[in-house]
Chain A
Amino acid sequence: MGDFTGPDRTLEPRPLGGYRALDLTGRLGWLCGKVLADFGADVIKVEPPGGDPGRADRYAWLAFNVGKRSIVLDAGAPAGREALLQMARKADFLIGTFTPVELSSLGLGWAEVSAVNPAIVMTSITPYGLDAPDPEAPASDLEIMAAGGPVSLAGDADRPPVRVTLPQAAAWTGLQAAAGTLIAHHYRRRTGRGQHVDVSAQASMMPILVQAPMWWSMLGQVPRRSGAYLTGRNVHGAPTRNIWRCADGYVTFAFYGGGAGRHSNRELTHWMASRGAAPDWLVTFEWEAFDPATAAPETLQRLEAAVAPFFASVTKRDFEEACVERRILGYAVATAADISEDRQLATRGSWHELRDSETGKPLRYPIGYARFDGRAPKVSRPAPACGEHQAEVLAEFGLAEAQPA
């Protein structure tokens, strides 16, 4: 377990090498197993007959099931259930998104699973937790982001609040499920005892809220969405624009206080002046005396009105170059194309390329979020075809070829 050879350390880090996980998750739980796979565990996706229905969302499937193997088992059939329990005997982790009713009817609750393997760490991931009053109620990304609070905090004030268009709830849930799983694993390492880890997706939304819950609990205020503006930063209640149209997209920039902010604000003025785009009053503006927290709303509006047309005239590239050169506090609002060309990511070797089995195109997977002694765990295998590893996995677990049914 944990392959590492000597002080030379030429092998990639595999902290969970040698551990085996049975991954019976639907999309709400995919990222949990992926994290274990990132760290070297052998993660076996156990799909129902017909395959994981989440495969319909192709790129989410590819993103969050890379590094896993796949078998098909009908957990609802006696032979399938028996095979699963046999596998659980030899597995270190079992992850699933079954509801309480499903766990009960499948006979795969914690009582049954821990009976065959008291050392197993079993992770159950559901929208509201296994103890929810209505645990069978269906909830997709939208409902979880709504019930957990993030939706209320984003979007233009004159329209309904919004989620992030790319689903995020399962990612937050899976990551926290992995944390709970590894905390339980640490305890098992010390004591030999497994545990049941019960994950609520709704509660997994809390980190996104940062301090917003305390605006209510401490001050009785409910933060509201404000589109491209930041609120709560100015004593007069003035909003400050944070996202600006530019010639070929958008940039993020704000007038900050403090030393770095003053420098940034001044440098923006100089840049505008160099392009003949700074009104006289802006050229002589007293940045030393300016504090966005206390500035009058009229001042902020005036600054915004002066700066917006300038930003609209520059490209993302212009803007980025000026920010670097002049130490202006801003960044382009990146698209996927921008990210694909991002020099920082390229320089750090943050991509691992696999070939897409369907289109033949090279798929660049982001890796390298955590480097252990300089080395990022690589992607060990592509996202599996359904049942791709049936024979080899069943043989490894000492099971005769089970009928997928």
Chain B
Amino acid sequence: MTAAIADVKVVELGGFAAGPMIGKHLADFGAEVVRIESRMHPDGFRGNYPPYLDNRPGQETSAMFAMTNNEKLGITLNLKSQSGLEVARRLIGRADIVIENFTPGTMARLGLSYETLAEPNPGLIMISTCNQGQSGPRAHRPGFGTHLSAQGGFVNLTGWPDREPALLWGPYIDYIAVGYGLVAALAALELREETGRGTYVDISQLETGMQFVAPALLEYFATGVEMQRDGNRDRLACPHGVYPTAQDERWCAVSVHDDDEWAAFVTALGNPEWAQEPTLSTVAGRRAAEAELDREIAQWTAARSREEIMRTLRAAGVHVAPVNDMADLHSDPQLARRKVFRPLDHPALGSYRGVGPSFELSETPAVLVKGAPLLGEHTRYVMKELLDMTDGEYARLESDGAFD
């Protein structure tokens, strides 16, 4: 089995998720990806970003680092030293793509601006991804975690109408930006096929988030109406919600999208009295009675196991799904069939479950077989095998502090 992007060489600088996840997806499909850290400044995930094995921060036991860096070659370079910088330039000089997610201006200060790097390597594609993009009044304002999802309008749109908004899990927009960084990198490779030249790609994480909130923005521009958070309700479908089951903290999602589906739903429920009201046969009528419908449906679901609810409503062709928690996902047979969780070996973690792509390619599937690297694990290998260094040269650079 050949790999889809085995011909692509990538160098990564920075840390955490926004840059390195782009490299991970490329590595999953065969790209050679070299991850540059330094002993003095290892990837931020290795420091204090739970969870860790045994619930204790540890340089080699970070789940986040493990999930983000499978298949990669991990090296350490001291970019503040001239010799370390030279090695970085040599690596980037033979690369197709360099990915960085430092704050704007950092790469230039390090002596690794796009202009500097592209001069000896005009085919180089540089992907710079950061919170706000490389320019503008907020370019240097710090932000992490939920800051971008708040700026992006997502927090405002999550939760109940009678309460304060709820947090979205994790750095939501960082991961939208990973997806857009990935497609932009692939587009830049295509562009290079045509022009023979690389390109500098400036990804603004906030602006990638705008793509996902666009319908609410367009509605506001067209009508002046602000979309409001509304629990699990929907503008078009009714009923539409998350309902309890007989087991604690096991929920199900149910939605009814047209009048035929409502009729099937009512039959599946056993034609209860409360559902016989003629006004309920139209969505307007259901909308007017929505609170009561939700209560009645919750009573029905709360008396049944999730499995029974799924069976009954699936058989009736009604929209239904389990609200899967993290334990459920790991035992979900369909995710297993799709090999979404991939077993990976790792010296410090033993074995862990990495995450494969959500899509399968018929001829060149993703290959996830190598756990994330230990700090500096492949420094020697990369220097000798990728840069053809002699032992003598390696030793000299090492004593110069290039690999600190």
Chain A proximity of B10: nearest CB distance (Å): 13
A277 within 8 A of B: no
A75 within 8 A of B: no
Interface stretch, picked from B81-89, B269-277, B314-322, is B314-322
In the complex, residue of chain B having the shortest beta-carbon distance to the beta carbon of A348: B136
Which of the candidate stretches A278-286, A298-306, A338-346, A395-403 sits at the interface with the other chain? A338-346
Given A203-B358, A373-B200, residue A63 in contact with residue B323 (CB < 8 A): no
4 closest A-B pairs by beta carbon, nearest first, are A2-B194, A180-B359, A366-B210, A143-B321
Judge if A100 is at the interface, Cβ distance under 8 Å: no
Q: Does the CB pair A149–B51 fall under 8 Å?
A: no
A334 B326 Cβ-Cβ under 8 A: no
A and B contact pairs by CB, cutoff 8 A, 6 listed: A2-B194, A146-B252, A203-B338, A214-B63, A344-B138, A374-B202
Among listed B184-192, B284-292, B377-385, interface-contacting one: B184-192
**Contact status A331-B150, CB under 8 Å:** yes
Q: Is A389 in the interface zone, CB < 8 Å from B?
A: no
Find residues 148-188 in chain B having any chain A CB closer than 8 Å to their own CB. Answer: 150-160, 163-172, 175-184, 186-188
Contacts between the two chains (Cβ within 8 Å), count: 507
Tell me if A324 counts as interface (CB < 8 A to partner B): yes
Interface centre among A183, A185, A358 (most CB of B within 10 A): A183
- Chain B, residue nearest A136 (CB): B317
Residues of A contacting B137 in the complex (Cβ-Cβ under 8 angstroms): 343-344, 347
Q: Tell me the residues in window 194-232 of chain A with beta carbons closer than 8 Å to chain B beta carbons.
A: 195-219, 221-230, 232
Question: Contact check: which of B158, B194, B319 meets A162 at CB < 8 Å?
Answer: B158
Q: Are B255 and A140 in contact (CB under 8 A)?
A: yes
Would A62 and B341 be within 8 Å (CB), given that A153-B169, A343-B137 are in contact? Answer: no
Asked if A332 meets B150 with Cβ closer than 8 Å, knowing A150-B169, A197-B359, A219-B51, the reply is yes
Q: How far is the CB of B22 from chain A (nearest CB, A)?
A: 10
Cβ-defined contact, A151 with B253, below 8 A: yes
A362 touches B221 (CB 8 A): yes
Q: Quick check: is B201 within 8 A (CB to CB) of the other chain?
A: yes
Bound together, the chains give a CA A13 to CA B235 distance in angstroms of 37
Tell me whether A202 and B335 are in contact (CB under 8 A).
Answer: yes
Interchain CB contact under 8 A, B155 and A250 = yes
B interface, by DSSP: helix, strand, loop or mixed? mixed
Interface membership of B206, Cβ < 8 A? yes
Residues of chain A contacted by B104 (CB below 8 angstroms): none
Q: Is B119 an interface residue (CB 8 A)?
A: no
Contact present for B179 and A207 (CB under 8 Å): yes
Contact of A193 among B135, B136, B363 (CB under 8 A): B363
Say yes or no for B67: interface residue by CB 8 A criterion: yes
CB pair A149–B325 under 8 Å, yes or no, is yes
- Quick one: which of B200, B324, B349 contacts A372, CB cutoff 8 A? B200
- Tell me, yes or no, whether B9 is within 8 Å of chain A by CB: no
Q: Is B106 an interface residue (CB 8 A)?
A: no
Q: Which residue of A lies closest to B21 (CB)?
A: A207
Assess the B330–A348 pair: CB atoms within 8 A.
Answer: no
- The complex places the Cα of A151 from the Cα of B168 at a distance, in Å, of 9
**Pick from B66, B194, B203, B217: contact of A369, CB under 8 Å:** B203
> Is the C-beta of A103 less than 8 angstroms from some C-beta in chain B?
no
B352 touching A217 by the CB < 8 A rule? Answer: yes
Given contacts A176-B359, A214-B63, A242-B146, contact A142 B240 (CB under 8 A): yes
Q: Is A370's beta carbon under 8 Å from chain B?
A: yes
CB of B94 closer than 8 Å to a CB of A: no
Give CA–CA (A343, B362) in the complex, Å. Answer: 45
Chain A nearest Cβ from B59, distance in angstroms: 16
Decide: B64 and A211 in contact? CB cutoff 8 A. yes
A147, B190: Cβ atoms under 8 Å?
Answer: no
B217 to chain A, nearest CB (A): 5
Output the least CB separation between A108 and chain B (Å): 16
Contact with A along B123-148 (1 / 0, CB 8 A): 00000000011011111011101110
Q: Are A142 and B325 in contact (CB under 8 A)?
A: no
Known: A165-B157, A373-B199. Contact between A137 and B314, CB under 8 A?
yes
8 Å CB contact of B358 from A138, A200, A336: A200
Q: In the bound complex, do residue B166 and residue A206 qualify as a contact, i.e. CB atoms below 8 Å apart?
A: no
Cβ contact of A327, chosen from B142, B163, B329, cutoff 8 A: B142
